[in-house]
Amino acid sequence: MFAHQPPPASITSNIVSADAEAPLPGSALNELARFSLQRQRELLPIFRHRKSLLYLVETKPVTIVVGHTGSGKTTQLPQYLHEAGWTQDGKIIACTQPRRVAATTVATRVAEEVGCTLGQEVGYSIRFEDVTSDKTRIKYMTDGMLLREALVDPLLTRYRVIMLDEAHERTVYTDILLGVLKKIRKRRKDLRLVISSATLDAEEFKAYFEKDKNAAEEEVSGIISLEGKMFPVDVMYLEEPTENYVEKAIETVFEITARERSGDILLFLTGRDEIERTAELIAERATNLPPNREQLLVLPLYAGLPTDRQLAVFEPTPEGVRKVIVSTNIAEASVTIDGIAFVIDCGFVKLRAYNPLTGMESLTVASISKASAAQRAGRAGRTKPGKCFRLYTQAAYDTLAPTSVPEIQRSDLAPVILQLKALGIDNVARFDFMTPPPAEMMVRALELLYSLGTLDDYGKLTQPLGLQMAEFPVEPMMARILLSSNDFGCGEQILTIAAMTSVQNVFVTPEGEKKVAESAKRKFTVEEGDHMTLLNVYHSYTSQPRERAVKWCHQHFLNHKALIKAVSIRAQLRRYMERFNIPIRSASPETAVHDIRRCLVSGYFAHAARMQPDGTYKMIKGGETLWAHPTSVMFNRKADWIVFYEIVETDKKIFIRDITKIEKEWLAELAPHYYEVKGKKTLEYM
Ligand code: CDP
Ligand code: MG
């Protein structure tokens, strides 16, 4: 099925190390598990670079570190800096992560290595979850959180060293931080920056920092390459393209099981649903394996997976068992799983994409880049020689782009522009972007912010509304809804809705119990839509006596952890409202359903649509056809006009979720600057 091809030279250099040192003998590897954590640290490739790393950080304002995934950048570098005294004066080392999961799991690991309780010397901070204390010296955080901190502390004075980790992912917030930190650095000579990247784009980062340094300055940055100990990876391509990569992937798993030596399998697919489905299929087929043969342990991995199931992926594989991890792109670089010897790469990834025409952001499936393909293959060669099965042909590989487009060129920029404005960067078009976003997308974002009342006619942040919206840790439309809730007299209810839409997976649908779960959900369903339904769920939950909560959730197919989180998020959002002096009133029962929905329209008006005779929705602006997502209570229900919050995915259709029924008149009344009523019947987007 697979044609064996030696990897092209360009990939080889990426996955096979030029490191001349002989690989560790197998027996030593087996011993590894028994070594103390300290010994494990010393065995990481980064260890022998410790001195040169510290020297570079000491002598250069910006250090660029390149090393294969698993070489120890994320877990070790902050510890080296801490041990070397960079935190002695009470200052902090920050290490940013593009993903929440990475921030929490890495912090947990490093706390273990340091030998402290999580939240003491080592902590993490992600949105709505701050596990740090006065003692914290090493802080893992999402890139978005660090940018947020700059709002209150523009020079980020609490930090002595800031490490932008996984910079090669080029997330929107990493890109913005690069620009912001470049500015801060010029005003804070004591600050040190570390840019760490798994791929070989170091020169690009260097050029960015050297570009317009002060004339008097010598070189600003230095590059260090860790050349992690990597073993050769054989790359195999399909001889014929496949119509169905999921099927091919499953076949390949069983071929590996039948033919290849032991070693865990990592399968890259695109999204959660696909992963759960495929994992089930593999597990099902694996029950037919002869009992004397090695058994398969199939584990899904994606962001949003409950923590205990995420951690299962990192557990050592039991004797006589082969792990099959079915993962999103998350395993490509940000999390490292030991023991992988085989990688199966479907060649696709789910990416955020932004359509400036409709102003909608969605997740779409796209081909990966060559850099990604190399990175994925490299996951098989971390501890011993490995194999990578690409579910596409060599010809298809040749057509892939060398690297992927930075997120900033394909995302909704409204939240980012809001943050920049709040940081006092008024002329966002002239911001020092490493890769500037297309002008069209900037314009769309500015328009939306203007229509939300965030910006005035001169493009300046309005006071206090715009500034408060920037501070609120929710996206701009929801911030606006919270801030106008007093006008509709329903602050209490809106706080609940904002909290409930910030958590994922409130409803649980266990396999095989779909029918029961659905009828349990129907008990909470409110005809006006998802937001009112979520409000109903929260209200019922908090009315239960505390000691019965777990059982009650279980009986009603609700996710107890998600609800606990919603309670905590609600309390945090409430504190913002109090600080902004916004009265929080409770809607009167007679008018609640009416008032709350009108309040939602005050922020979601740009996401308005009308139902078509065939049951789909047509977006008012742009005219896009939308489908109610099967998890929405509006799925298979009639409505006329609606607003919605989220776009789920667009493989073939555009699905929307978190939908609320509205009256058409509210749009013209509450967003007159956005909608204009033409004649009697049509509502048009200006
Ligand atoms: O950042 P980089 O990819 O260079 O490596 P790292 O994340 O610092 O990982 C170094 C090693 O720490 C890996 O080889 C893992 O074995 C281990 N690790 C772990 O056991 N648990 C984690 N949550 C993270 C890393
Ligand atoms: Mg890392």
Position 19 confidence tier, pLDDT thresholds 50, 70, 90: very low
Same domain, 190 and 256: no
Distance 35 CA to ligand 2 centre (A): 22
On the question of pLDDT at 114 being above 60, the answer is yes
For residue 414, pLDDT over 80 is answered with yes
Beta bridge partners of residue 300, listed in sequence order? 326
Is the per-residue pLDDT at 138 higher than 90?
Answer: yes
DSSP string, 321-377: EEEEEEE-GGGTTTS--TTEEEEEE-SEEEEEEEETTTTEEEEEEEEPPHHHHHHHH
CATH number at residue 115: 3.40.50.300
Q: How high is the pLDDT of residue 25?
A: 42
Query: How far apart, in Å, are the Cα atoms of 429 and each of 174, 426, 439, 475, 664?
Result: 18, 9, 8, 21, 36
Residue 43 shares a structural domain with residue 70: yes
Provide the 3-class DSSP secondary structure of residue 9. Answer: helix
Domain-located, residue 655: yes
pLDDT score of 403: 78
Sign of CA dihedral 463, 467, 472, 477: positive
The protein residue whose alpha carbon is closest to atom 20 in ligand 1 is: 109
More confidently predicted of 157 and 313:
157
Helix segments in 36-133, DSSP class H: 37-43, 50-59, 73-83, 100-114
Residue of 39, 100, 109 best suited for mutating to test ligand 1, as the one with most atoms within 8 Å of CB: 109
Structural domain contains residue 543: no
Question: H or E stretch including 296?
Answer: strand 295-301
First to last CA, the chain: 55
105 lines ligand 1 (CB under 6 A): yes
Residue with tokens 């200052």: 91
Answer yes or no: is 669 within a domain: yes
Q: Do 220 and 253 fall into the same domain?
A: no
The CA 414 to ligand 2 mean position distance, Å, reads 29
> What tens digit of pLDDT does each residue of 290-303 get?
877 788 999 999 87
> Can you tell me the distance from the alpha carbon of 78 to that of 632, in angstroms, rounded to the nearest whole number?
44
- What's the confidence (pLDDT) of residue 60? 94
User: What is the reported pLDDT for 320?
Assistant: 86
CA 602/CA 485 separation, integer angstroms: 9
- Per-residue pLDDT at 684: 55
Q: What is the pLDDT of residues 225-258, one digit of tens each?
A: 886 567 889 999 999 999 899 999 999 999 999 9
Separation between Cα atoms, residue 339 and residue 262, nearest integer Å: 10
Among 71, 75, 199, which is best to mutate for testing ligand 1, by the most ligand atoms less than 8 A from CB? 75
Tell me if 163 sits within 8 A of 94, measured CB to CB.
Answer: yes
- Indicate whether 361 pLDDT > 80: no
pLDDT of residue 628: 94
CATH number at residue 631: 2.40.50
515: in domain:
no
- Domain membership of residue 57 (yes or no) is yes
The predicted model scores a pTM of: 0.77
The verdict on residue 83 lying in a domain is yes
User: What pLDDT is recorded for position 559?
Assistant: 95
* Cα gap 333→325, rounded to integer Å: 15
Mean pLDDT of 542-549: 94
71 lines ligand 1 (CB under 6 A): yes
Does any ligand 1 atom lie closer than 6 A to the CB of residue 344? no
- 312: containing domain: 232-407
Spatial neighbors of 68 by CB under 8 A, at least 6 apart, are 15, 17, 45, 198, 226, 227, 228, 230, 378, 382
User: Which among 169, 190, 193 is positioned nearest to 179, based on CA atoms?
Assistant: 193
Question: Where is pLDDT greater, at 18 or 367?
Answer: 367
What is the structure's pLDDT at 30? 41
**What own/partner pairs with CB < 8 Å and gap ≥ 24 does 25-30 have?**
26/384, 29/383, 29/384
Using the atom order of ligand 1, give the atom closest to the CA of residue 106. Answer: 23
- Indicate whether 320 and 239 sit together in one domain: yes
β-bridge pairing 159-164 and 192-197 = parallel
Q: Which of 196, 225, 254 is the last residue of a domain?
A: 225
Domain presence at residue 551: no
**461 found inside a domain:** no
Indicate the helix (H) or strand (E) that contains 224: strand 221-225
Protein residue whose Cα sits closest to atom 24 of ligand 1: 106
Task: Indicate if 398 and 271 belong to the same structural domain.
Answer: yes
Total number of domains constituting the chain: 3
Q: Decide which of 351, 385, 407 is a domain's last residue.
A: 407
Considering only CA atoms, give the Rg of the chain.
26
Q: What is the pLDDT of residues 557-616, one digit of tens each?
A: 999 999 999 999 999 999 999 999 999 999 999 999 999 999 999 999 999 999 999 999
Same domain, 84 and 158: yes
356, 373, 407: which is the final residue of a domain? 407
